Amino acid sequence: MNIKKEHSKAVDEILKYFKKNPSVFNVKNVEQISIKIVFSDLRKRFTEFYRIRVDNYSILTQTNNHVYYWVRIVKSKPGEILLDALEKQFKIMQELYGFFDNRKNNHYQSCCKPIALLPEYNALISRECNGILFNKYLQRQIPVLNKKNICVHFYNCGVWLKLFHEFYKDNSITQSEMEKYLLKFQDIFKRDPEKHMRYITNCHNDYSPRNIFVSENSVEVIDFVGVEKGFPEQDINFFCNYIYKARFNFLYPLRVKKMMIKAFHSGYDDGQSSIEEHKYKTKSCCQ
């Protein structure tokens, strides 16, 4: 653990704010509430990260409950730029969480649930994601023994990205604007985007296992600070290049990585709401 004895003044004030306003966490009918820092990471240049635990005793059920949240404080940037970035990320999180939460028969796609934006502290608070960071999951696996589960996660990552792109698809782009995006894409990738992906949408621009949490039946995505409009292929290329270059461990040779990418593409092409609807494809993805 990297718990610091001394925290920034901002996080101390945030904890006081939460204790005075427990409704922020949707805590009701409580006799007592406790909020404390259980992990902190202050090493990054532009952000401070805190994991906080909220304990409450419910009078109605006479039970103790605890839930974990993340507090990110951004620093060392001009005020206006900083506030714009925080507001942009919080708005996207609200839109996406609402979109996934309202989908019928959706049990596994989401993003980290936004809780509060506190501009006075340059802070954004969200509910902790379910599962494990996908990077860590892959580092701990032996592909030959866990091939099917790995394929399922990659398939689900493809589904999530497809739904994200379709949700933000922009049909109002003019031809002249399209040309600008096309020239930018050509400059980066030295080719035109595929015809079936030649539409403008929001791109995550850092869609990779380091920003994805997975569990047996869930995919949750974080870090929307870099979201900008572009062609969907930008995210697909970024994800695939990351997998090819990543060194999870020596048990992931090129053949295994191609298998994982195949499952990812299959999920993106299907764009369904559940891997259970396409169990038969899991086997083919893992060949």
Q: Which of 262, 271, 246, 273 is nearest to 134 (CA)?
A: 246
Q: Does residue 281 carry a pLDDT above 80?
A: no
Q: Are strands 30-41 and 228-230 parallel, antiparallel or unpaired?
A: unpaired
What pLDDT is attached to residue 51? 94
From the centroid of its chain, how far is CA 82? 20
C-alpha span between 139 and 72 (Å, rounded) = 26
Average pLDDT over residues 82-92: 89
| Measured distance CA(278)–CA(89) in Å, rounded | 33
Over residues 100-122, the pLDDT tens digits come to: 988 865 657 899 999 999 888 88
Determine what percent of the chain is predicted with pLDDT higher than 90: 58
Q: What is the pLDDT of residue 275?
A: 45
Which residue would you say has higher pLDDT here, 224 or 47?
224
pLDDT at 107: 58
**In contact, 191 and 250? CB cutoff 8 Å:** no
> What average pLDDT does this structure show over 12-23?
81
Buried-state track 97-134, b at ≥16 Cβ within 10 A, e below 16 = bebbeeeeeeebbbbbbbbbbbeebbbbbbbebbbebb
Distance of alpha carbon 90 from alpha carbon 24, whole angstroms = 15
For residues 148-163, give the mean pLDDT. 95
Q: Can you give 3-54 as a three-state secondary structure string?
A: CCCCCCHHHHHHHHHHHHCHHHHCCCCEEEEEEEEEEEECCCCCEEEEEEEE
**With contact defined as beta carbons under 8 Å apart, do 3 and 40 qualify?**
yes
**Could you give all domains of the chain from N- to C-terminal order, each with its CATH number?**
9-127 (3.30.200), 132-285 (1.10.510.10)
Whether the per-residue pLDDT at 279 is higher than 60: the answer is no
What counts of helices (H) and strands (E) characterise the chain? Answer: 8, 11
Residue 27: band (very low, low, confident or very high) from pLDDT cuts 50, 70, 90? low
What torsion do the CA atoms of 147, 150, 151, 152 make, to the nearest 10 degrees?
Answer: 130
Top mean pLDDT of 52-56, 78-82, 283-287 is at: 52-56
pLDDT digit string, tens, across residues 48-76: 899 999 887 766 667 778 899 999 988 76
